[in-house]
Amino acid sequence: MKSFRLIPAIVAAAMLVGCVPSDKKETELTQETQQKEKAETTIIPSIQIDESYYKTLIPYKESASRGLVVSNVYTKYDMKEVESGLMRLSQNEFDTENYYFQEGQYLAESTVSSWLARSSQTEDGLNPPTTDTMTPEERATKAPVYLSHIVEQNYLTKTKDNKVKLGGISIGLALNSIYYYQKEQYGEYYEEPISESTLIEQGKKMAAEIVSRLRSRDELKDVPIVVGLFKQQARNQIIPGTYFSYGVAKSGQNNIDEWKGIDENYVLFPTDDSQDVYRDVNNNFKNFKQDVDKYFSNYTSVIGTGFYRNKQIQNLSIEIPIQFFGKAEIIGFTQYLTGILINQFDNIHVEVSVTSVNGPEALIIKKPNDKDPYVHVYD
């Protein structure tokens, strides 16, 4: 087996679909662009690695506002989830069998930056205005920055005349759960929490305005528009935030008639949360950690992140950073981990990543009720 590194799901889907052997042939089509006179040739990969992934058109087109996420979203965990979570909820409207994924091509970097500004800074700024006379505390309590980033994703469909065209758009609004501010230049940062009820109110208001602006463009008048509201975590968190609500402006509609709640969350294990929904996994994780600690005479950190949907765990990711470097010891430790993994986690999807200062050392993937996990030790 060849060595590989873990990469974001969006990029992984694009890469892996072209790497799996198959007798099926790729499909070459013509793609309509914003300038219809500049139609382009595109390829639909022959392989779909999993029904939860969209096929991604080749050549891969980067987002028109690519790069802003790094400066606008607080943590690397939120950077990944604000995009992958939007792809996940988009499947409620755009199924993976009939739609193909493409990064957003309609919102330019300058447009997104202008929309993220305060309305007192740019004419089309979506965040609340301020005045020169307002103190930092007044800004924090009366006019915090609610919207920190806008993610656009495009979903394309195949037509009868051997073309692919835009079939829908998804927009993710990354909202601040905490507003950070300084009372003086170069001073310390203070925090002002923003309630979820306020985020819902402001998010829906901004979503309505964004849908209206998108509908004003001829090429976007009739496509469905999905808008998701994403709640960012605090800057010091090591688990991502999640989407908590979404709505759809149906084809030709200028507004979102109905908003639906999304019950998803990430939990860091071990956890002190005593809720029944986490108890079994938490107990199993603690037992797993104790077994890992027995292997080492020195301390080794074991961190678990569980993803829950509708109160049911979907997968558990475990990171184990190690300090030793001997290949034989790594192999022995990986074998030991595989054994206790099977014993402690029977009916859930678990991924264990062993890393050192040299990078990834081993990867174990165990599917629910799997007695023979996938195990790989890197060269």
Of the given ranges (123-132, 145-154, 204-213, 342-351), which has the lowest mean pLDDT?
342-351
Of the given ranges (107-116, 307-316, 365-374), which has the lowest mean pLDDT?
365-374
Q: Looking at the predicted structure, is the pLDDT value of residue 274 above 90? A: no
Q: Looking at the predicted structure, is the pLDDT value of residue 257 above 70? A: yes
Residue 242 in any domain: the answer is yes
CA–CA dist 12, 15 (Å, integer): 5
Q: Kindly list the distances between the CA atom of residue 241 and the CA atoms of 69, 73, 174, 222, 268, in Å, as whole numbers in the listed order.
A: 14, 11, 9, 31, 12
Given a contact cutoff of 8 angstroms between Cβ atoms, the answer to whether 93 and 226 are in contact is: yes
Question: Where does the pLDDT of residue 29 fall: very low under 50, low under 70, confident under 90, or very high at 90 and above?
Answer: low
**For tokens 């493409």, what's the residue?**
102
Note the pLDDT tens digit of each residue in 237-249.
999 999 999 999 9
Q: In terms of domains, do 372 and 332 share one? A: yes
Q: Looking at the predicted structure, is the pLDDT value of residue 153 above 90? A: yes
Residue 28 in any domain: the answer is no
Q: In terms of domains, do 69 and 171 share one? A: yes
Question: Where does the pLDDT of residue 73 fall: very low under 50, low under 70, confident under 90, or very high at 90 and above?
Answer: confident
Question: Where does the pLDDT of residue 16 fall: very low under 50, low under 70, confident under 90, or very high at 90 and above?
Answer: very low
CA–CA dist 134, 354 (Å, integer): 50
The rounded mean pLDDT for the chain is: 87
Q: What is the CATH number of the domain that holds 245?
A: 3.10.570.10
Q: In terms of domains, do 223 and 253 share one? A: yes
Note the pLDDT tens digit of each residue in 166-195.
999 999 999 999 999 999 888 999 999 999
* pLDDT confidence of residue 371: 83
Residue 26 in any domain: the answer is no
Q: In terms of domains, do 219 and 274 share one? A: no
Q: In terms of domains, do 282 and 141 share one? A: no
Residue 273 in any domain: the answer is yes
Q: What is the CATH number of the domain that holds 359?
A: 3.30.300.190
Q: In terms of domains, do 286 and 223 share one? A: no
Q: Kindly list the distances between the CA atom of residue 287 and the CA atoms of 284, 293, 330, 341, 374, in Å, as whole numbers in the listed order.
A: 5, 10, 21, 10, 22
Residue 34 backbone phi and psi in degrees, to 5: -60, -35
Q: pTM of this prediction?
A: 0.86
Given a contact cutoff of 8 angstroms between Cβ atoms, the answer to whether 210 and 171 are in contact is: yes
* pLDDT confidence of residue 273: 82
Average pLDDT over residues 136-145: 95
Domain boundary among 219, 242, 262: 262
> What whole-number percentage of the chain has pLDDT above 90?
65
Q: Looking at the predicted structure, is the pLDDT value of residue 31 above 80? A: no
Q: In terms of domains, do 135 and 246 share one? A: yes
* pLDDT confidence of residue 2: 35
Q: In terms of domains, do 296 and 153 share one? A: no
* pLDDT confidence of residue 40: 66
CA–CA dist 117, 74 (Å, integer): 17
Given a contact cutoff of 8 angstroms between Cβ atoms, the answer to whether 109 and 68 are in contact is: yes
Note the pLDDT tens digit of each residue in 32-66.
665 555 566 778 776 666 777 898 888 888 887 87
Given a contact cutoff of 8 angstroms between Cβ atoms, the answer to whether 232 and 73 are in contact is: yes
Q: Looking at the predicted structure, is the pLDDT value of residue 296 above 80? A: no
Domain boundary among 242, 262, 282: 262
* pLDDT confidence of residue 43: 80
Residue 271 in any domain: the answer is yes
Q: In terms of domains, do 182 and 308 share one? A: no
Q: Looking at the predicted structure, is the pLDDT value of residue 27 above 50? A: yes
Domain boundary among 262, 288, 320: 262
Helix (H, G, I), strand (E, B) or coil at 286: helix
Backbone CA torsion sign across 218, 149, 155, 168:
negative
Neighbours of 108 (CB within 10 A): 13
> Which structural domain range is residue 78 located in?
60-262
CA–CA dist 143, 134 (Å, integer): 10
Token pair, residue 281, equals: 């996994």
Of the given ranges (15-19, 217-221, 356-360), which has the lowest mean pLDDT?
15-19
Of 35 and 121, the structure prediction assigns the larger pLDDT to 121
Token pair, residue 160, equals: 């009868």
Neighbours of 238 (CB within 10 A): 13
* pLDDT confidence of residue 22: 45
Average pLDDT over residues 82-92: 95
Residue 51 in any domain: the answer is no
Q: In terms of domains, do 185 and 301 share one? A: no
Question: Where does the pLDDT of residue 13 fall: very low under 50, low under 70, confident under 90, or very high at 90 and above?
Answer: very low
Q: In terms of domains, do 249 and 185 share one? A: yes
Residue 21 in any domain: the answer is no
Residue 329 in any domain: the answer is yes
* pLDDT confidence of residue 375: 96
Question: Where does the pLDDT of residue 3 fall: very low under 50, low under 70, confident under 90, or very high at 90 and above?
Answer: very low
- Is cis: bond before 136, omega within 30 of 0? no
Q: In terms of domains, do 91 and 131 share one? A: yes
CA–CA dist 68, 66 (Å, integer): 6
Structural domain count, the chain = 2
* pLDDT confidence of residue 10: 38
First and final C-alpha spacing in the chain: 10
Of 222 and 2, the structure prediction assigns the larger pLDDT to 222
Average pLDDT over residues 279-304: 86
Note the pLDDT tens digit of each residue in 300-356.
689 999 999 999 999 999 999 988 768 898 999 999 999 999 989 988 999 999 998
Token pair, residue 97, equals: 């069998």
Token pair, residue 74, equals: 């607080």
